[in-house]
């Protein structure tokens, strides 16, 4: 037997369970495993944790804010963090188990994207790894995170991103955490007026900012003054908008709980208002929202229609989304109806309506602030995949409106293939026997906004207007 004295083994210490980081990890796993969206997954997790209370392992308001930042920040910069982590592991990233990669990404965000001290970021992430991955893989997490501490974010970006002059799009993709193809598409969409390095960097940076919570006071049901509580401020552009201070809770307002007001981006309000503002000759009594789910624009249109004695028909193809529309419209003072119907196979006769809104399904590249994980899910092949549906819905919307009536074509994507190209193609069909229509200058139906360009369509931008990147074309049927 050896005469050397054996060192006594350290007693095993159970890992500390941090409810904030465990909740953040659970949200990331749901996003990855179920293709869920964080804005749908996170609220119920937070609500359940807050109901427990801090004394029972739940979360208080400060904890909930940190969990939200960890989830959204990690998802937002996922591509950049993947590139950095790849420099710190000894195998291809695809060979790292997804749960391990989620823990590493959470740690990377704490180290590189927050003010959490480095030692605390490493130790808390290793403790999380012990809880959710086991002690063996926690050692791997610890080793990788310690390599990440060698540089701050700017230092890592100097390593993983090529110089701008060598490859502008890849440089911006890694610096601003967007896939390269989206950087290219957004740069094209900015057009000549904004097509500069400063313009695209401002847009990409705005995509990475947490959006304000904006409310809409539905006309005839609530007032802006009623919503201006605490540090809330009036909207910038919509007469019905109210911007909540950071951390403001919409659910704490009576008007929101009662459905008289709702959460709605100001860009979404503007496109609905623009359609309602177009002057018409002849009757103005029948309005249609042909793709109404989940119901925000329908609720605003319904309230505006009621104020003019008009009727709104809100159509939605998917039954569960039609139920959301019905909930949004509940209590509307004027006549309306909600139907489950496919806008490409209309359940109404041609020429029935005076105003038609068609907010078509799209890639959602205009709402990357709100759904940061969407940028990593979408592919360039998704864009042409939506094209037949978008053209079909616009074609039928023009057929549904009477001669002299107006159609508003809306997308929450600025991609040229989902915006101008769709409208140009469908308008060109008028000469081949389809409904004939002409563009209306949509800029005349919105407030004076910076950077609208030559028109006639309206393209909103996060960095210029503080809204989602909504696109609007207004078309008047001529034959």
What separation in angstroms does the CA of 186 have from each of 157, 189, 344, 351, 375? 21, 5, 29, 36, 12
Q: Catalytic site residue 412?
A: yes
DSSP 338-378: EEE--TTS-SS-TT-EEEEEEE-----GGGTTT-TTHHHH-
Write 179-184 long-range contacts (CB < 8 A, 24+). 179/79, 179/375, 179/376, 179/378, 181/379, 181/380, 182/365, 182/368, 182/375, 182/378
| 407 strand-pairing partners | 356, 475
What separation in angstroms does the CA of 336 have from each of 129, 223, 273, 285, 455? 53, 21, 18, 11, 33
Give which of 249, 200, 242, 206 is closest to 224, Cα–Cα. 242
Other CB atoms within 10 Å distance of the CB of residue 433:
7
| 314 strand-pairing partners | 289, 338
Please measure the distance between the N-terminal and C-terminal CA atoms of the chain and give it in whole angstroms. Answer: 102
Q: In what order do the strands lie in the sheet with 261-263?
A: 233-234, 241-243, 214-217, 261-263
Residues 6+ apart with CB under 8 A from 173: 79, 179, 180, 182, 183
Other CB atoms within 10 Å distance of the CB of residue 343:
25
344 contacts 274 by C-beta, under 8 angstroms: no
Peptide bond just before 333 cis, omega within 30 deg: no
284 contacts 355 by C-beta, under 8 angstroms: yes
Q: Is 127 exposed, middle or buried (0-12, 13-18, 19+ CB in 10 A)?
A: middle
Give me the helix-helix angle, 197-207 and 168-175, nearest 10°: 30
How far apart (Å, rounded) are the C-alpha atoms in residues 215 and 173? 32
| 338 strand-pairing partners | 314
3-state class (DSSP) for residue 122: helix
Cα 31 to chain center, whole Å?
Answer: 14
213 contacts 227 by C-beta, under 8 angstroms: no
How far apart (Å, rounded) are the C-alpha atoms in residues 461 and 187? 12
Give which of 275, 471, 199 is closest to 362, Cα–Cα. 471
Active site residues: 412
């Amino acid at each position: 037997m050896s005469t050397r004295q054996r060192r006594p083994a350290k007693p095993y210490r159970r890992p500390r369970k941090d409810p904030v980081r465990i909740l953040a990890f659970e949200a990331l796993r749901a996003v990855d495993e179920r293709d869920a969206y964080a804005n749908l997954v996170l609220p119920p997790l937070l609500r359940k944790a807050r109901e427990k209370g801090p004394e029972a392992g739940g979360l208080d308001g400060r904890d909930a804010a940190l969990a939200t930042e960890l989830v959204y920040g990690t998802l937002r910069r996922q591509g950049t963090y993947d590139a950095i982590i790849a420099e710190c592991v000894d195998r291809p990233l695809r060979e790292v188990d997804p749960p391990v990669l989620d823990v590493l990404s959470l740690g990377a965000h704490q180290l590189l994207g927050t003010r959490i001290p480095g030692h605390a970021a490493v130790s808390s992430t290793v403790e999380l790894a012990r809880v959710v991955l086991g002690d063996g893989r926690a050692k791997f997490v610890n080793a990788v995170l310690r390599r990440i501490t060698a540089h701050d974010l700017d230092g890592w970006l100097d390593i993983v991103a090529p110089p701008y002059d060598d490859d502008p799009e890849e440089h911006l993709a890694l610096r601003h955490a967007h896939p390269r193809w989206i950087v290219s598409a957004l740069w094209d969409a900015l057009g000549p007026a904004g097509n500069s390095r400063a313009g695209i960097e401002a847009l990409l940076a705005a995509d990475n900012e947490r959006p304000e919570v904006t409310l809409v006071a539905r006309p005839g049901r609530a007032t802006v003054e009623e919503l201006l509580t605490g540090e809330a401020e009036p909207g910038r552009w919509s007469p019905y908008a109210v911007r909540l201070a950071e951390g403001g809770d919409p659910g704490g307002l009576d008007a929101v709980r009662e459905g008289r007001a709702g959460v709605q981006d100001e860009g979404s309000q503007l496109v609905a208002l623009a359609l309602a503002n177009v002057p018409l000759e002849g009757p103005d009594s029948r309005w249609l929202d042909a793709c109404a789910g989940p119901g925000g624009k329908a609720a605003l249109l319904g309230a505006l229609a009621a104020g003019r004695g008009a009727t709104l028909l809100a159509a939605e193809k998917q039954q569960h989304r039609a139920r959301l529309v019905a909930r949004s419209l509940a209590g509307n003072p004027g006549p309306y109806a909600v139907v489950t119907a496919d806008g490409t196979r209309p359940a109404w006769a041609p020429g029935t309506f005076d105003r038609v809104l068609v907010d078509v399904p799209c890639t959602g590249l205009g709402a990357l602030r709100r759904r940061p994980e969407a940028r990593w899910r979408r592919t360039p092949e998704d864009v042409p995949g939506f094209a037949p549906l978008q053209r079909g819905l616009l074609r039928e919307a023009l057929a549904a409106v009477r001669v002299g009536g107006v159609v508003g074509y809306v997308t929450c994507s600025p991609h040229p293939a989902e915006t101008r190209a769709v409208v140009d193609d469908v308008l060109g069909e008028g000469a081949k026997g389809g409904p004939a229509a002409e563009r209306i200058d949509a800029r005349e139906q919105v407030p004076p906004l910076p950077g609208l360009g030559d028109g006639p369509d309206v393209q909103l931008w996060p960095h210029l207007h503080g809204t989602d990147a909504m696109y609007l074309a207004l078309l008047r049927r001529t034959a």
